[in-house]
């Protein structure tokens, strides 16, 4: 059996009296897209932040590439990247300058060539000299995604990566992610509120509610276990019936 | 708080300047050099503090902090990079101010001599220490602490004896001034201008205190960084 690239055991996060993540365990296999879904406040983003070492867990263990995250954070993050709709880049820099900064942070070799290539892939070539402050929210999201590929990551954490993209670019982004995943055996942990997207993208999903895993497996298995029509139906059952 | 902070500091500063002028009304030595030199040097301290805390705030406002700390960048490397950027900004600002002082008032700060350079370095380090401590407070307390980035350096101005000697201050403030590296710098500057001597004692005091303060600042930043990660505040700053 191929060892997982990410292994999470008993992950718990308390914010004062609120338990945001409650004894969560899962793994991410090489070349797999794992979807984290659940309503607002389910703990998806907190889990991603803990996996990036941005938030310290209250309990539990995170192992990435067979290394303990707490003790090998910098080494691990060299081969990991992330993108979120909720983060941005320095306003006064241009698209290309921003990418140069991150290329240096990740110690990327052949920086200019790499950046030029990514700008083409993400259709950002025409705005490469535009300042970040003048980008639309869709362009910003694409810039973040471009940044996420700057170091040829082995693992990508994507927090609602297509949230502010128009349907055309969102579709292209999904196709691109699937293609890159296939070509490079990249592992992706993915959160989204778009249930159709989750069904389309994920090899496996984890359904979270109030910090706990309430279901996991292949999307069709989860749909079946809830006796639902699709993931959206599962989502509505969880949020409206509040049984879980 | 703001209603009291600035009037209080203004009153202290201008009150002590007035006392100084009254004491030396019959001939303040090198008046222009004292004041313009002090103003340029104070600006160096202020810019070096701002170079740290305002640059950090720019990353917060740009929502760039998570991108940075999700990379292999270490917190110490981040602070050192802010120090380097601040160094560049200081050189630009000090050059512009020195040029303007020369054009408008025929004041050439370089006449004071290269003896001033070690003192200038001490001002920069003190500014960095204040900037790192301010950044730690902003990290921990968020938006409500942002105002410190603009005003905290001025809290040290009256006891730094920028425009008057430490001896003008009341005794309890003189005691406080002994723990402020900038007070030795400005005393040193005045002694260099008036006696053209190198005040080695002041330089040693200033450097020693700065060594301690910059160490404390880095320690506090690391400590606070751990706390904000534990409390989940790093990911929420700027929201």
ipTM for the predicted complex comes to 0.90
* B68: closest CA of chain A, how far (Å): 8
pLDDT, position A65: 96
Q: Are residues A146 and A121 in the same domain?
A: yes
pLDDT, position B166: 93
Q: Is residue A67 part of a domain?
A: yes
**What value does the mean pLDDT take over residues B58-74?**
93
Which pLDDT band holds residue B26 (cuts at 50, 70, 90)? low
- B234 and A55 in contact by Cβ < 8 A? yes
The answer to whether residues B234 and B228 touch, using CB atoms and an 8 Å cutoff, is yes
Which pLDDT band holds residue B238 (cuts at 50, 70, 90)? low
If one counts the domains in chain B, the total is 1
Query: Whose CA is closest to B182, among B204, B200, B160, B167?
Result: B160
Q: Which residues of B touch A53 (CB under 8 A)?
A: 69, 229
Q: Is residue B237 part of a domain?
A: no
Smallest CA–CA distance from B81 into chain A, residue: A105
Which pLDDT band holds residue B114 (cuts at 50, 70, 90)? confident
Q: Is residue B3 part of a domain?
A: no
Q: Between the ranges A47-51, A221-225, B10-14, B94-98, where is the mean pLDDT highest?
A: A47-51
Q: Is residue B28 part of a domain?
A: no
Q: What is the pLDDT along chain A (244 residues), one digit of tens a residue?
A: 788 999 999 999 999 899 999 999 999 999 999 999 998 889 999 999 999 999 999 999 999 999 999 999 999 999 999 999 888 899 999 999 999 999 999 999 999 999 999 999 888 999 999 999 999 888 888 899 999 999 999 999 999 888 877 888 888 888 888 888 888 889 999 998 888 888 888 999 999 999 999 999 999 999 998 888 888 898 888 877 655 5
Q: Are residues A127 and A206 in the same domain?
A: no
Which one of A106, A132, A144 has the shortest CB-CB distance to B71?
A: A106
pLDDT, position B239: 65
Provide the whole-model pTM: 0.89
Output the 3-class SS for chain B: CHHHHHHHHHHHHHHHHHHHHHHCCCCCCCHHHHHHHHHHHHHHHHHHHHHHHHHHHHHHHCCCHHHHHCCCCCHHHHHHHHHHHHHHHHHHHHHHHHHHHHHHHCCCHHHHCHHHHHHHHHHHHHHHHHHHHHHHHHHHHHHHHCCHHHHHHHHCCHHHCCCCCHHHCCHHHHHHHCCCHHHHHHHHHHHHHHHCCCCHHHHHHHHHHHHHHHHHHHHHHHHHHHHHHHHCCCCCCCC
Q: Is residue B26 part of a domain?
A: no
The answer to whether residues A120 and A142 touch, using CB atoms and an 8 Å cutoff, is no
> How many other C-beta atoms can be found within 10 angstroms of the C-beta atom of residue B230?
15
Q: Are residues A32 and A138 in the same domain?
A: no
Q: Are residues A42 and A105 in the same domain?
A: no
Q: Are residues A108 and A207 in the same domain?
A: no
Q: What is the largest CA-CA distance in chain B?
A: 62
Range of the domain at A95: 83-151
pLDDT, position B29: 65
List the single best residue of B62, B68, B70 to mutate versus A (max A Cβ within 10 A).
Answer: B70
Q: Is residue A169 part of a domain?
A: no
Q: Is residue A231 part of a domain?
A: yes
- Distance CA(B186)–CA(B166), nearest Å, equals 9
Query: Whose CA is closest to B202, among B192, B211, B212?
Result: B192
Q: Is residue A171 part of a domain?
A: no
pLDDT, position B110: 72
pLDDT, position B23: 81
CATH for A47: 3.40.50.300
Which one of B63, B74, B232 has the shortest CB-CB distance to A87?
A: B63
pLDDT in tens, B139-171: 999 888 888 888 889 999 999 989 988 999 999
Q: Is residue A134 part of a domain?
A: yes
Q: Is residue A168 part of a domain?
A: no
pLDDT exceeds 70 at position B113: no
- B229 and A78 in contact by Cβ < 8 A? no
Q: Are residues A123 and A103 in the same domain?
A: yes
| Residue A149 at interface with chain B, using a CB cutoff of 8 Å | no
Smallest CA–CA distance from B233 into chain A, residue: A55
- Distance CA(A195)–CA(A219), nearest Å, equals 10
Q: Is residue A173 part of a domain?
A: no
Q: Are residues A13 and A55 in the same domain?
A: yes
Q: Are residues A126 and A158 in the same domain?
A: no
Q: Each residue of A46-84: b (16+ CB within 10 Å) or e?
A: bbbbbbbbbbbbbebebbbbeeebeebbeebbbbbbbbb
Q: Is residue B27 part of a domain?
A: no
Q: Is residue A17 part of a domain?
A: yes
Range of the domain at B167: 37-231
| Residue A136 at interface with chain B, using a CB cutoff of 8 Å | no
Please identify, among A151, A173, A202, the residue that sits at the C-terminal boundary of a domain: A151
Q: Are residues A71 and A125 in the same domain?
A: no
Q: Are residues A158 and A58 in the same domain?
A: yes
pLDDT, position B193: 76
Q: Are residues A158 and A146 in the same domain?
A: no
pLDDT, position A48: 96
- Provide CB contacts within 8 A for B12, sequence distance 6+: B158
Which one of A56, A88, A105 has the shortest CB-CB distance to B73?
A: A105
Interface of A with B in 98-117 (CB under 8 A): 102, 105-107
pLDDT exceeds 90 at position B172: yes
If one counts the domains in chain A, the total is 2
């Amino acid at each position: 059996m191929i060892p997982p690239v990410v292994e999470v055991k008993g992950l718990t996060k308390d914010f004062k009296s609120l338990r945001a993540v409650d004894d969560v365990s899962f793994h991410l296999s090489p070349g797999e897209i794992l979807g984290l879904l659940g309503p607002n406040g389910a703990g998806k983003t907190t889990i991603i932040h803990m996996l990036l070492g941005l938030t310290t867990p209250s309990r539990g263990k995170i192992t990435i590439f067979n290394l303990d995250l707490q003790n090998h954070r910098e080494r691990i993050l060299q081969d990991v990247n992330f993108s979120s709709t909720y983060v941005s880049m320095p306003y006064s820099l241009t698209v290309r300058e921003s990418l140069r900064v991150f290329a240096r942070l990740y110690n990327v070799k052949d920086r200019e060539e790499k950046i030029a290539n990514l700008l083409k892939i993400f259709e950002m070539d025409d705005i490469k000299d535009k300042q970040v402050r003048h980008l639309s929210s869709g362009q910003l999201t694409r810039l973040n995604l471009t940044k996420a590929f700057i170091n040829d990551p082995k693992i990508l954490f994507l927090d609602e990566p297509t949230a502010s993209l128009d349907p055309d670019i969102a579709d292209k982004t999904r196709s691109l992610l699937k293609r890159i995943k296939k070509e490079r055996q990249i592992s992706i942990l993915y959160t989204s509120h778009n249930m159709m997207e989750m069904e389309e993208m994920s090899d496996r999903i984890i359904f979270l509610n109030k910090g706990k895993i309430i279901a996991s497996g292949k999307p069709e298995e989860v749909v079946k276990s809830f006796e639902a029509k699709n993931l959206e139906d599962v989502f509505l059952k969880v949020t409206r019936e509040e049984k879980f | 708080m703001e209603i009291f902070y600035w009037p209080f500091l203004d009153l202290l500063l201008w009150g002590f300047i007035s006392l100084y002028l009254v004491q030396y009304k019959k001939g303040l030595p090198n008046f222009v050099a004292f004041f313009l030199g002090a103003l340029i040097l104070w600006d160096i301290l202020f810019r070096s503090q701002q170079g740290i805390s305002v640059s950090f705030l720019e990353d917060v406002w740009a929502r760039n902090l998570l991108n940075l700390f999700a990379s292999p960048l270490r917190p110490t490397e981040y602070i050192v990079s802010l120090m380097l950027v601040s160094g560049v900004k200081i050189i630009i600002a000090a050059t512009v101010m020195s040029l303007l002082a020369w054009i408008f008032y025929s004041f050439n700060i370089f006449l004071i001599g290269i003896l001033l350079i070690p003192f200038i370095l001490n001002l920069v380090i003190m500014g960095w220490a204040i900037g790192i401590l301010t950044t730690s407070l902003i990290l921990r307390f968020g938006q409500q602490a942002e105002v410190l980035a603009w005003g905290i350096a001025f809290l040290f101005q009256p006891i730094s004896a920028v425009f008057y000697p430490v001896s003008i201050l009341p005794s309890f403030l003189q005691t406080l001034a002994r723990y402020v590296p900038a007070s030795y710098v400005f005393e040193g500057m005045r002694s260099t201008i008036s006696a053209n001597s190198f005040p080695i004692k002041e330089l040693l005091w200033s450097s020693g205190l700065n060594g301690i303060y910059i160490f404390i600042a880095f320690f506090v930043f690391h400590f606070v960084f751990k706390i904000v990660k534990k409390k989940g505040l790093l990911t929420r700053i700027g929201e």
